[in-house]
């Protein structure tokens, strides 16, 4: 799907969202919010100079084999912060997770996916898994992260860990389930690869899921109120 078609789909989806879910705090309408978000993202992409020989960051990332990236590389201070958070050992009983209650943006998510390491492989989990990849390789652990209203469209989120897995979930307390759940309320997940993602109890109210690939995703108790799966 080309960039123009993706943008057109997102605009239509944003219009649907405006009529069903209360706009984020500080905004009178979803139109104002999306206009501001698009302005900020465009400003970020223009203010950060792409590597020499490239006019756009998206062109650079595509050349690197990461066509799903479009935001500028995050700065070194942010990388250190995210790396330190990622090193935190999860504790289900105590409700401790690397990105619990941390507000992330799309540039953060792109970097976390690109640098994700598991089973001797670096990068997001591919679908279907390549022959040389371990079929049980898990995705990034984003349990408890605050991702509400973000534009995460077309990101490779296969096997992402956004809630408790199916072995733990049935015996977990309501508080433990809630602590582990990502907040994706109002997020744009159109075209995302979410195969086999752990999304139990995740907050997806008002989220856009047009053309999202949800094969074998675990969505037990996920809140999908007013989520738009079909457009």
Residue 228, in any domain of the structure = no
Residue 145, in any domain of the structure = yes
Residue 191, in any domain of the structure = no
Alpha helices (H) in 92-214, listed in sequence order: 106-114, 174-180
Residue 209, in any domain of the structure = no
Residue 187, in any domain of the structure = no
Structure tokens at 27: 């905004």
Residue 102, in any domain of the structure = yes
Residue 164, in any domain of the structure = yes
pLDDT of residue 126 exceeding 70: yes
Residue 215, in any domain of the structure = no
Q: What is the mean pLDDT of residues 104-125?
A: 95
Closest CA to 155 of 182, 183, 195: 195
pLDDT digits over 4-46, tens only?
444 444 444 444 444 445 666 777 765 566 556 655 665 555 5
Q: Domain limits at 109?
A: 3-180
Based on the structure, what is the number of domains in the chain? Answer: 1
- pLDDT reported for residue 12: 41
- pLDDT reported for residue 8: 46
In this predicted model, which residue has the larger pLDDT, 9 or 175?
A: 175
Residue 184 burial (CB count, 10 A): 28
**How many angstroms separate the CA atoms of 62 and 66, rounded?**
5
- pLDDT reported for residue 79: 96
pLDDT digits over 56-88, tens only?
999 999 999 999 999 999 999 999 999 999 999
């Amino acid at each position: 799907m080309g960039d123009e078609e993706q943008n057109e789909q997102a605009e239509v989806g944003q219009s649907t969202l405006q009529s069903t879910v209360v706009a984020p705090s500080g905004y009178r309408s979803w139109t104002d919010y999306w206009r501001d978000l698009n302005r900020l993202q465009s400003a970020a992409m223009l203010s950060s100079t792409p590597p020499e020989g490239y006019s756009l960051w998206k062109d650079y990332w595509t050349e690197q084999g990461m066509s799903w990236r479009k935001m500028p590389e995050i700065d070194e201070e942010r990388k250190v912060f995210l790396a330190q958070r990622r090193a935190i050992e999860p504790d289900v009983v105590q409700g401790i997770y690397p990105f619990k209650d941390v507000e992330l943006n799309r540039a953060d998510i792109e970097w976390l996916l690109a640098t994700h390491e598991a089973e001797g492989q670096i990068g997001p989990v591919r679908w279907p898994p390549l022959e040389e990849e371990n079929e049980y390789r898990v995705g990034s652990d984003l349990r408890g992260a605050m991702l509400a209203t973000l534009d995460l469209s077309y990101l490779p989120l296969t096997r992402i860990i956004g809630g408790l897995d199916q072995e733990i979930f049935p015996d977990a307390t309501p508080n433990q389930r809630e602590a582990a759940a990502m907040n994706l309320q109002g997020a744009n997940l159109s075209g995302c690869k979410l195969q086999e993602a752990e999304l139990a109890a995740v907050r997806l109210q008002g989220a856009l899921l047009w053309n999202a690939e949800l094969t074998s995703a675990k969505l037990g108790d996920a809140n999908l109120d007013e989520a738009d799966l079909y457009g």
